[in-house]
Amino acid sequence: SAVISQKPSRDICQRGTSLTIQCQVDSQVTMMFWYRQQPGQSLTLIATANQGSEATYESGFVIDKFPISRPNLTFSTLTVSNMSPEDSSIYLCSVVSGGAVEQYFGPGTRLTVT
């Protein structure tokens, strides 16, 4: 399975600012995803990060709020823009590697917006 790291592991940010979260994988992967996990809740898919092209966003999520980059097969970033307290969540990077069916997850970034 792939080893996934995320930076930062946690942050406290002011309302109205932006934060970029990095996801690094130790090997090339087929698919990369970004999820949000709001306090005490399950995971919600934000978008699929596509290498070299625009991300594919799920209903309720837009590029202006959550711009995503994926410049190569091992790295992606998610930016949370113009933050409000409602954006306080854990943001998780997830990958599918090779011919695998299951997803693997990074340790998450715990974001608190004040």
Partner 1 sequence: AQSVTQLDSQVPVFEEAPVELRCNYSSSVSVYLFWYVQYPNQGLQLLLKYLSGSTLVKGINGFEAEFNKSQTSFHLRKPSVHISDTAEYFCAVRRNTGGFKTIFGAGTRLFVKA
Residues binding partner 1 (CB under 8 A) = 1, 4, 31, 33, 41-43, 45, 48, 92, 94, 96, 101-108, 110
Q: Report the DSSP pairing between strands 75-80 and 89-96.
A: unpaired
> In the complex, what is the shortest distance from the CB of residue 17 to partner 1, in angstroms, rounded to a whole number?
24
Strand-pair partners of 94: 33, 105
| E runs forming strands in 14-85 | 19-25, 31-37, 43-49, 56-57, 68-72, 75-80
Q: Report the DSSP pairing between strands 109-113 and 10-13.
A: parallel
Closer of 38 and 72 to partner 1 (Cβ): 38
Closer of 76 and 94 to partner 1 (Cβ): 94
> In the complex, what is the shortest distance from the CB of residue 88 to partner 1, in angstroms, rounded to a whole number?
15
Closer of 31 and 73 to partner 1 (Cβ): 31
Euclidean distance between CA atoms 44 and 77, whole angstroms: 17
Closer of 35 and 74 to partner 1 (Cβ): 35
> In the complex, what is the shortest distance from the CB of residue 46 to partner 1, in angstroms, rounded to a whole number?
12
